[in-house]
Amino acid sequence: MIPTLEWTPAGVNFLDQTKLPHEETYVLATDYKQVATVIRDMITRGAMAIGVSGAMGVAIGIQNSTATTLPALDAEVAEICAHLAATRPTAVNLFWGIDRVRALYTQLAAANTPIAEIKTAVVALAREMYDEDIANCKQLGANGADLLPQEGTILTHCNAGALAACGYGSALGVIRAAVERGHKIDVLADETRPYLQGARLTAWELMKDNIPTTVLCDNMAAYLMGKGRIQACIVGADRIAANGDTANKIGTYGVAILAKEFGIPFYVAAPWATIDVNTAHGGLIPIEQRDRREVTPAKYITAIITERGVLRAPFTESIRAIAEDLVPVASL
């Protein structure tokens, strides 16, 4: 398992993904501001990893607090959460991670729980979320594996692998699960400009797993699809609106349109936390203009694969159906 991030007694240790594939080095964040810098500067990246990083940022901020009263700690927690939330506006998992730890803090503070006990509890939750992410990715992979061909070539864009999560990955998790079941698959990894996550990260990951991989220029997909070289496309997501519109790395929209034109299934793999039921459609998703992300309309997506099941069109209804089933545990 690639150690993307890890809670340690000294702080949160992050694999520096800006240095891959040439150098495997780590950055230790010892306070919440350093965690925010790691997220903002893409030292760690990927919706799932960002969500857990945000949770750990809140936890380490509370753990390091010198507040002696709950009102003082309340003010600190508000500042910690606001600082972390400002780092990556598109990735809804970030707000999910922050809000989940903050909700526990609010619950414990309302019960006048001693500050020392609050610190222990929020750290325990952040570490639990790390384990949950890996388990969710493995379940997501199992749900999606049989959607991929028994034999053929899969195109992916950006990196939605173990490096984008706490382990295993979403889009690459589905590929890993299919290979584990005996599918004979090779992968075309779009280079993914401008940060080259496909060339630097996806190819590096898959080579470590001995899954045949070829780095593809971003503008070659149409030619290869037209030649029948690609049997399926699968990508991750930063945020999925309630109607299925999906925000992911720039270039994803174009791949989805091409797949539709050539009759190739286009799958989105993401944990349930990436689905924002409070955002009606993709036009309402805040887009990070810094790195030119785009939105892929739901009409181009064959299915959305989550750990809670495979969602199909009409996505507004399939997403609502699962969301309604989750109402009793909405605060978790």
Handedness of CA 30, 286, 165, 251 (dihedral sign): negative
Q: Which two tokens stand for residue 243?
A: 């109607």
Q: Tell me the residue type at 69.
A: T
Contacts of 10 (CB under 8 A, 6+ apart): 28, 30
Q: Tell me the residue type at 223.
A: Y
Task: Provide the terminal-to-terminal Cα distance of the chain, rounded to the nearest Å.
Answer: 26
**Phi, psi (deg, nearest 5) at residue 85:** -65, -25
Cβ count within 10 A of residue 27: 21
Q: Which of 187, 217, 221 is nearest to 202 (CA)?
A: 187
Q: Which of 29, 21, 15 is nearest to 64 (CA)?
A: 29
- Active-site annotation holder among 190, 238, 245, 276: 238
Cβ-in-10-Å burial (0-12, 13-18, 19+) of 82 comes to exposed
Q: Which of 239, 136, 138, 165 is nearest to 17 (CA)?
A: 165
238 is catalytic: yes
Q: Which residue has the tokens 């699960």?
A: 177
Q: Which two tokens stand for residue 62?
A: 């509370």
Q: Tell me the residue type at 7.
A: W
Active-site residues, by number, are 238
